[in-house]
A and B are shown apart, each in its own frame.
Chain A
Amino acid sequence: MSTAEVPLISAAGLTKFYGVRVGCLDVDLEAYAGEVLAVVGESGSGKSTLLSLLSTQLRPTRGSVHFRMRDALVRDLFQLEEAQRRLLSRTDWGFVHQDARLGLRMNVSAGGNVGERLMAVGWRNYASIRREARLWLARVEIDGDRIDDLPTTFSGGMRQRLQIAKNMVSAPRLIFMDEPTGGLDVSVQARLIDLMRGLVADHGLAVIIVTHDLAVARLLSHRIIVMRYGRVIETGLTDQVLDDPREPYTQLLVASDLRG
């Protein structure tokens, strides 16, 4: 079996209780390299909990998450040491937040934000860090002149693109996104989606994207998972699920979408 057929990340029986309340319940999923997996559902359906569990920011009540490391070994993420998990999360993974302030250091320049991951893994040459930062700013269409500006001076769309540059600089294989297009106007959204599609295609990334925006899911993802009350109620190819939903709840969701 070639590595391409082994999922990059897979979850089995993933469950999280907040006290007696359910965060998510018995979720199984897998994502492969080069694939965008969308997780949709209304607010409170457990999408964000699921993302936090997969990215090990939360510990599950039960269940496991396995990840295929660069050496092709598949490891249980919650059995790894904290130091290894940290290394993963700033080299092999990226995390793009809806609120850029969570993903960026707002009092550090754009170049410093992009360079942070490089310095964390031992880059100690100022000129090369800067060269790499410029390269990635250009790739996400941020003018090189803005390299020393603070993200506070950036527009919403630029901040999201800066977040993406900050994550991509370490050549990650998996990116988690939590509503990355939330709160942006439609033309900015469209450009961001375009950028993300390009990166996925060029770098063979796997992306797990949480969104309540079905249009974003349709444009970006290959497969889709529909969640409700913490459970996965429907899963399949994106166009198939959105064009021909099987579950009544999914039908409602699709029918409620204004741009359907």
Chain B
Amino acid sequence: MSTPPVYNFAYLDEQTKRTIRRAILKAIAIPGYQVPFPSREMPMPFGWGTGGVQVTASILGPNDVLKVIDQGADDTTNAVSIRHFFARTAAIATTTRTSEATIIQTRHRIPETPLKDGQILVYQVPIPEPLRFLEPRETETRQMHALADYGLMHVKLYEDIARHGHIATTYAYPVMVDQRYLMDPSPTPKFDNPKMHMSPALQLFGAGREQRIYALPPYTRVLSLDFEDHPFERTRFTAPCALCGATDAYLDEVVTDDRGGRMFVCSDTDYCERRRPARQAGDGGERGHEHR
């Protein structure tokens, strides 16, 4: 029997972590600016959150409490594996409670429980460049960022209104950071955009395949782009969560049978569970809310 492998604290070697921390510091110093960093191979494929994992590994300390969510849920494969990964390689405490965590790594959601001073939210980012699908040349998009030449982004929103009558972008909705850099909030639903604005938590964004890190320091102004006569609107739901009755949360559609049955429940599992202490989990599902 061989001995189990011994990892450096949080898997990455110290030199790499220092390099990534320098990139993070630069990113914090220039809010919304994409800082290149030497992304490492991680024991998971690109697209599974390698950027977020490297950022988390670089900022993790022995006393940190880590929470990992995937689309708001603590119990999906990606979230569970990453939580186990750090529990094993860094022997840190993990939690599913938003309020107890010091670092929250997330894919595509911001927790419903408001974040506090001292917490850090780490986003996994697939494509950091908000202009990518409008202007494929990286040389040109960098130039556009340097000159704050962002008219093109509004052309995209204009096209949305012309075609659909309203701004049809519902996730990865572009934001302007501190009136300077155009930023992709990663594919979070636009419902979460207002939470980024003046958040007391530090927000770090890691894109592993694209080798970019960007950041929002606490209390940064983050405004969603819009038109005067077509202002930004948060997604609204017509009915409350079928499990906890929340009316202020982002809901997922869950198909319950093969006869068209469905219900809408909180995507943030921690938030939902905290709100229904009296009931057993899953109990309320049978009430079968049908709306829309």
Contact = CB atoms under 8 A, between A and B. Distances in A.
A52 B104 CA distance: 52
Interface stretch (A108-116, A136-144, A211-219): A108-116
A126 B143 CA distance: 26
| Prevailing SS type, chain B contact patch | helix
Given A86-B147, A108-B159, A109-B159, A127 B229 contact: yes
A255 interface: no
Given A82-B147, A117-B151, A148-B163, A111 B227 contact: no
A121 B151 contact: yes
Interface of A: 82-83, 86, 90, 105, 108-109, 111-112, 115-117, 119-121, 124-127, 129-130, 147-148
B227 A124 contact: yes
B229 A125 contact: yes
A129 B154 CA distance: 11
B286 interface: no
B149 interface: yes
B159 A112 contact: yes
Interface of B: 143, 147, 149, 151-152, 154-155, 158-159, 161-163, 226-230
A119 B154 contact: yes
A193 B84 CA distance: 71
B201 to A, nearest CB: 30
B189 to A, nearest CB: 23
B162 A116 contact: no
Contacts of A117: 151
A115 to B, nearest CB: 6
A117 B151 CA distance: 7
Contacts of A121: 151
Given A108-B159, A109-B159, A125 B152 contact: no
Contacts of B227: 124-126
B233 to A, nearest CB: 14
Contacts of A130: 162
Contacts of B159: 108-109, 112
17 contacts: A90-B151, A105-B155, A109-B163, A111-B158, A112-B155, A112-B159, A112-B162, A116-B152, A124-B154, A124-B226, A125-B228, A125-B229, A126-B161, A126-B230, A127-B229, A130-B162, A148-B162
Contacts of B163: 109, 148
A55 B155 CA distance: 24
A39 B55 CA distance: 57
Nearest to B150: A120
A122 to B, nearest CB: 8
Contacts of B229: 125-127
A130 B227 CA distance: 12
B151 A120 contact: yes
Nearest to A111: B162
By Cβ-Cβ distance, the 10 closest A-B pairs, closest first, are A120-B151, A119-B154, A126-B227, A119-B151, A125-B228, A83-B147, A148-B162, A116-B155, A112-B159, A112-B155
A119 B158 contact: yes
Contacts of B226: 124
Nearest to A121: B151
A130 B154 CA distance: 13
B151 A109 contact: no
Nearest to B144: A86
A121 B151 CA distance: 7
Given A124-B227, A124-B228, A148-B163, A129 B149 contact: no
Contacts of A86: 147, 149
A105 B156 CA distance: 11
B158 A126 contact: yes
Nearest to A110: B162
Nearest to A122: B151
Given A112-B162, A115-B158, 9 more contacts: A108-B155, A109-B159, A111-B158, A112-B155, A112-B158, A115-B155, A124-B226, A126-B158, A126-B228
Contacts of B230: 126
Nearest to B154: A119
Contacts of A116: 151-152, 155
Nearest to A118: B151
Contacts of B149: 83, 86, 120
B95 to A, nearest CB: 43
B190 to A, nearest CB: 18
Contacts of A83: 147, 149
Contacts of A125: 227-229
Contacts of A129: 158
A112 B162 CA distance: 9
Nearest to A83: B147
B166 to A, nearest CB: 10
A82 B163 CA distance: 34
Nearest to A126: B227
A83 to B, nearest CB: 5
A120 B152 CA distance: 7
